[in-house]
Chains A and B, each alone.
Chain A
Amino acid sequence: MPLYLVPRTRAWLSAEEVAAAADCVPAVNATLPDIRWIRSYIVAEEDGTFSGYCVYEASGPEALRRHGDALMLPTDAIKPVAATIVAAPDPEPAAAP
């Protein structure tokens, strides 16, 4: 399946919401067969909310829209990844905010 990057601006209002979303990853991966949630990079915004840059394998943009809808998350854009440059493997996940 192709790789996509999905920015989600101010998707989470609190650290609890981020933690709840992280808890949901296995269940979401198990129930949406045409999509695989690979990882998300979460950044803290100045207003206390959190935004995410989420990487997925998906059958197409429609599957990603369904995924966002299922998790009640905003989908700013759906960008197919043209190429991946891996300079080093991801470090250990950063601690939850």
Chain B
Amino acid sequence: MGGTFGALLAERRAALVGRDAELAALLGVLDDGGPLAAIVHGVAGAGKSALLRAFRAEAVARGVAVVAIDGRAIEPTEHAFRAALGAQEPAQPGRRTVLVVDTAERLRLIDGWLRRELLPSLPAHVRVVLATRDAPGAAWRSSFGPLLQTVALGPLAPSDATEVLHRAGLDDEQAAWVNRFTRGHPLSLQLAASAVRARPGAAEDAILPTVVQELAALYLDGLDAATREALDATSVLRRVTLSLLAPLVPGEPPQAAFARLSGLPFVELGREGLVVHDTVREAVLALLRAADPVRHRAYRAAAWRQIRGELAGATGAARWASVADMLALVEEPLVREAFFPASVQHYAVERARPQDRDAIEAIAARHEAPAEVAQVRAWWEAVPHAFRVARDPRGRVVAFTVLCEVGDVPSRLLADDPVCEPWRRHLADHPVPEGQQVLFARQALAHGTGAETSPCLAALLRDLERASLESGPAVRRIYSVVRGEALQAQIAPIGFAPLPGREFEHGGRMHRPTLLDLGPDSVAGWVSRLAADDPGADGARLDGDARELLLGGRRIALTKLECDVLRHLREREGRPVTRESLLRDVWGYEWTGGSNVVEVAVSGLRRKLGDRAGALETVRGVGYRLREL
């Protein structure tokens, strides 16, 4: 029977043990009159992907067209989701089609859009199945009511768990032992079975609170040294590709390490490369960080350099993939949470709808003087698309922000708004090169707590950050304003710096304008800097705020110009950089000074680099090139 598609189908269906009821519930969406959508939820390793695989196989067998999307493989934006849909083979018109989205927790950022816009817009013959870690929130339940089938994946029943272990080659005694402490958790069963096969005599004292982590460790102890090294190295990555493996595991051809990793029971081959199961990857990473921090730093540094190189030449989807790779190295919580939310988001953030006007005005009126409420009204009239709102689980607007590209704002509104005045002046004094965008993040206000930090405002801030980055590769600067120290302290780690001397009073409150300059390489450069600023990401560390270079244990003070030149060169490490690009991107268009400014700055830098000065090379007839510091 082997070798045919039918055999594969049978194998996939048979591979699923103990999930008959859940599979039947899912298949209900294929019936006329059945639910229109289903959500499978369960903890990591509960077997959601396996259930979806079986469901897809059964759907295909019934003649249903399947469109499958893996949340890990796409950018969490509306555009990318639509692109992924469009990339699939179109089904015949009217044919029953099911859209299957695995790892949907990675798409939390577009949860509201999926629920409110995409799903209702799908043709009537399409059904939807999502797999995610968290149970669907009230918003999903109220939107779909009985038309949403919710399938909770709990632990396997003891008899089913035993069946899984028998299939994995364990005898009754071994299966009973493993069953005692895995308690039916499918990934734990899988790992335990592998561990027992690899080390039949392992001690039975593995009954520990974090069963999966302990199992991962137990399993890892049984791996050969080369596989273990490859797994350690790649635990710093969100996906494993040949190009990323090469610098991380230099001792062997990347193809060999790739093949070894792909044979592990908790590693899957995805569209973007190998994906180590999150639970195991996090356990491996935690072990590595605790047991061998030097090696952990070295892996991060090697990954950072490789990803930065890939970012430089990437466009389109490949660019997003590399940005996401770099984001995965960033440990700054505000950034991590914006892109990889760790928990259920209580507040749905989305563009404001016309009917939100009154709620937005009411929030402004609770906290602001009448003049400022009038400004909010004027912005709503002129640029309603700039408003984004946070909704509580009941759907009520509890906070709003205003963010837009400066070119979208009528000049009269800008001229009349005192909040924008310092931004306009700064921009006039320091224009950005043509083609680069400037965003104004004018306001963030919550119903209960005003402009102070709060969970719903934090959700909006993460959304602002994300929306800014999604605006495209040309975003250069984001201007904002803060009123309190707490908010400034919150956004400072991602690069927002106060505009000195431009504080002003408005509506009886002091306002402090602040600026995030992403640099000439926009989002890619900014993310690279954030990842490099994390301890251990790079051997040499440039602290832009303190204007210091940390090199070989020394703190080297730099002028602002030297700092900017060095940053520009480091972002292009290993590549020649022309004098013209340095003049344009570091000095800016407004620079009209003499012709030797670049040479003077480079010469100053070399002096300060001391015995590492040779890393800053002159490329005759071109400009300069920075080697690894």
A→B interface (CB under 8 Å)? 13-14, 16-17, 19-20, 23-24, 27-28, 30-31, 70-72
Contacts and interface: CB of A to CB of B under 8 A. Distances in A.
Contacts of B344: 16, 19
Contacts of A20: 346-347, 392-393, 455
19 contacts: A13-B138, A14-B137, A14-B393, A16-B344, A16-B346, A17-B394, A20-B393, A23-B455, A24-B455, A24-B456, A27-B448, A27-B452, A28-B448, A31-B449, A31-B452, A31-B454, A70-B447, A72-B396, A72-B448
Nearest to B141: A14
Residue among B396, B449, B456 with max Cβ neighbours from chain A (10 Å): B449
Nearest to A73: B448
B132 to A, nearest CB: 15
B449 A70 contact: yes
A23 B454 CA distance: 9
Contacts of B393: 13-14, 16-17, 20
Interface in B450-485: 450, 452-456
A16 B449 contact: no
Contacts of A14: 137-138, 393-394
Interface in B342-356: 344, 346-347
B447 A24 contact: no
Contacts of B454: 24, 27-28, 31
Interface residues of B, number: 19
A13 B138 CA distance: 9
Contacts of A72: 392, 396, 398, 447-448
Given A16-B393, A19-B346, A27 B449 contact: yes
B180 to A, nearest CB: 25
B485 to A, nearest CB: 12
Contacts of B394: 13-14, 17
A17 B455 contact: no
Main secondary structure, interface of A, reads helix
Interface in B418-460: 447-450, 452-456
Contacts of A31: 448-450, 452, 454
A83 B452 CA distance: 35
A28 B455 CA distance: 10
Nearest to B448: A70
Given A31-B448, A31-B452, 20 more contacts: A13-B138, A13-B393, A16-B137, A16-B344, A17-B138, A17-B393, A20-B392, A24-B449, A24-B454, A24-B456, A27-B452, A27-B453, A27-B454, A27-B455, A30-B449, A30-B452, A31-B454, A70-B447, A72-B398, A72-B447
B448 A24 contact: yes
Nearest to B393: A16
A62 to B, nearest CB: 16
Which residue of A17, A19, A24 has the most chain B CB atoms within 10 A of its CB atom? Answer: A24
The 7 closest A-B pairs by CB, nearest first: A27-B454, A20-B346, A70-B448, A16-B393, A14-B138, A23-B455, A31-B449
Most-contacted residue by chain A among B138, B393, B454 (CB, 10 A): B393
Nearest to B396: A72
A63 B491 CA distance: 31
B137 to A, nearest CB: 5
A24 B390 CA distance: 14
